[in-house]
A and B are shown apart, each in its own frame.
Chain A
Amino acid sequence: KNEVEQSPQNLTAQEGEFITINCSYSVGISALHWLQQHPGGGIVSLFMLSSGKKKHGRLIATINIQEKHSSLHITASHPRDSAVYICAVESNFGNEKLTFGTGTRLTIIP
């Protein structure tokens, strides 16, 4: 079983829809990261969080440490949000290494 599980693996939605991507993990962590990768592109860090909720524009990330679960929400989705979204966890051993999920491929149709 992977330490980091993301769902769904693929998601197609219409422009304007509210999007939720989920991440569950099985180990103790010090932080959880959400990353974005556009087709053929590099990887960009969206959020790093260890508790509660963070918001940046139309993106919201939440984490529930007790349930070992995080969600990434996109409000008013747009075709430019089409990308792979990757969840990664940082173990609480203090060595700053990340363990990654396999990603969720999001496609927003105009």
Chain B
Amino acid sequence: DAGITQSPRHKVTETGTPVTLRCHQTENHRYMYWYRQDPGHGLRLIHYSYGVKDTDKGEVSDGYSVSRSKTEDFLLTLESATSSQTSVYFCAITKSGNEQFFGPGTRLTVL
């Protein structure tokens, strides 16, 4: 168990509303990632962080922002949710040796 939790685990929201997903880790690992998983696509990187206040974009970052004000928390925000952002979102961390450990996922539905 890598000590990663995600909240909420499920959310249904309406188009145009803001949504924030939280990833929390208990082991003070430096690297954290947000991915989305959609049928027919592999996991795709949205944003990642290599330390407090240090973040960078992934391959599908449009429409998403992130913040990391504490080592243990990495927040993903959809400023104005769209139906194309309906997906399963996974947070991950990298431990020593570069192995990635994933959170349980958040299923987001945008109506």
Give the interface of A toward B (CB within 8 A).
Answer: 2, 4, 30-31, 33, 35, 42-45, 48, 86, 88, 90, 96-103
- Whether A96 lies near B31 (C-beta < 8 A) is yes
CB contact list, B48-104 vs A, under 8 A: 48, 58, 90, 92, 94, 97-104
Count of chain B residues near A, Cβ 8 A: 22
Interface centre among A30, A31, A86, A96 (most CB of B within 10 A): A96
- Whether A96 lies near B94 (C-beta < 8 A) is yes
In angstroms, Cα B90 to Cα A45, docked, is 14
Counting residue pairs across A and B whose Cβ atoms lie within 8 Å, the total is 49
Interface of B is mostly: loop
Q: Which of A31, A42, A97 contacts B58 (CB 8 A)?
A: A97
Q: Which residues of B contact A103 (CB under 8 A)?
A: 42
Q: Which of A42, A44, A96, A102 contacts B40 (CB 8 A)?
A: A102
- Whether A31 lies near B98 (C-beta < 8 A) is yes
Rank and list the top 6 A-B pairs by shortest CB-CB distance, nearest first.
Answer: A100-B42, A43-B102, A100-B43, A102-B42, A42-B104, A48-B99
